[in-house]
Amino acid sequence: MSLTVLIAPSGFKESLSVKDVAEAIARGVRRAAPHATILTAPMVDGGEGTTEALIAATGGRMIPARITGPVGEAVAGFWGLMGGAGPRTAVIEMAAAAGLSLVPRDRRDPTLTTSRGVGELILQALDHGVDRILIGCGDSGINDGGAGMARALGARLLDASGEELPEGGGALERLARIDTSGLDPRLASVQIDAAVNWHNMLLGPRGVARVFGPQKGATPEQVECLDRGMTRYAAAIEAETGKMVATMPGAGASGGLGAGLIAFAGATLHPRFQIMLEYLDFDNLLGRADLVITAEGALDGQSPFGKVPCEVARRAEALGIPTIALAGTIGKGARQTYDHGIGAYASIIRRPCSLQKAIGGGAKLLRNAAENTMRMLLVGERLAARGRA
């Protein structure tokens, strides 16, 4: 059986980088089908691994940075200078400054976490004299709408008494006014593009607080607090800048950072795969494949809304190429992915185990699941061959 398999996964948050996921799946496929041709396309989507992937793709360089992390303590972050022709471009993944992986499990309170470090990375890029900044939005541990970033860039968020609000999305329900007169003037002379999940809205039933707040540790009461804060925040942004972020596609990306980037950094938002695929060789690799294997930490009813497996599967389906998805967990609504190009899916966890054990053994679980999947496909191929005989 001559078979070309394209492995195009996402990373597994807090467990494996996208590169590690791709390598684990490839090892499993080779065990079952040693003669198969294996192509890999690690699918960065603006979250963790984005900077590394784009720097590798363009021959750029990584730059370490000491910045404010999401819980207000200094962390070792980074950004990158992309290589190649064209404008001098910085790439920043917000997860390097305000990602969920930087929030200790016992301190996961999205009413308090801040995006200040994202603003500090933008300032460092400006200090290097870049012409363009590409910001990847994903894997966030915040819900402050980019308020912390705005402060780092020079904005002031004030309560009814004219006092500065503290950090965190929880304080925004006391927001009365925003003062942008102190924003860094260099922002006006640099092009800022943000790669976001286009489906993430700031407000409403699918607003960022209600959909993602609980995933970041918010209680039901805190979700309501964050939603009230986002509502006041959107109104204050409109009053100060005239920008109506409340209903903009992508404004809710990364805990509302999309809204902050529009309002305070003059950014243009783009569907994340549209802008990322400019730098990745995915379409060329897809055209050579007979089968696609994708993967993500969880497959559920949110997956069709801008997540890697369905974005990959839609493109493969358009070319008549089947896609299989592997996932750490199969959640409620996963069957919806069948309507978005996924031909079959499977959990990599075969028996009950703790979250920590699953995270620690992610590479082995993925390798075994990929091997089992390929062996099932090869059995099917043999049956099909007997039927043709």
Task: Go through the domains of the chain in sequence order and give each one's CATH number.
Answer: 4-42+301-388 (3.40.50.10350), 50-275 (3.90.1510.10)
Structure tokens at 238: 């409109």
**Which residues does residue 99 pair with via DSSP β-bridges, in sequence order?**
140
Q: Which residues contact 227 (CB under 8 A, 6 or more apart)?
A: 203, 207, 209, 210, 213
376: phi > 0 → left, psi -120 to 50 → alpha, else beta; which? alpha
Residue 1's pLDDT is: 55
Nearest alpha carbon to residue 25 among 35, 14, 39, 13: 39
Residue 42's pLDDT is: 84
Using alpha carbons, list the distances in angstroms from residue 28 to 44, 285, 334.
Answer: 21, 20, 24
Residue 353's pLDDT is: 73
Residue 261's pLDDT is: 98
Calculate the CA 364 to chain-centre distance.
Answer: 24
pLDDT tens string, the chain, 389 residues long: the values are 589 999 999 888 777 888 899 999 999 999 999 999 999 988 888 888 899 989 988 899 999 999 999 999 999 999 999 998 889 999 999 999 999 999 998 999 999 999 999 999 999 999 999 999 999 998 899 999 999 999 999 999 999 999 999 999 999 999 999 999 999 999 999 999 999 999 899 998 889 999 989 989 899 999 999 999 999 999 999 999 999 999 899 999 999 999 999 999 999 999 988 887 778 788 899 999 999 999 999 999 999 988 899 999 999 999 999 999 999 999 999 999 999 999 999 999 987 777 777 777 889 999 999 999 999 999 998 888 888 76
Q: Could you give the CA distance from residue 105 to residue 115 in angstroms, rounded to a whole number?
A: 18
pTM score above 0.85? no
Per-residue burial over 271-293, b if 16 or more Cβ lie within 10 Å, else e, is bbbebbbebbebeebbeebebbb
Nearest alpha carbon to residue 117 among 54, 69, 186: 69
Pairing of strands 89-93, 177-179: unpaired
Q: Cα angle at 21 between 20 and 23, to 5 degrees?
A: 65
Pairing of strands 74-81, 89-93: antiparallel
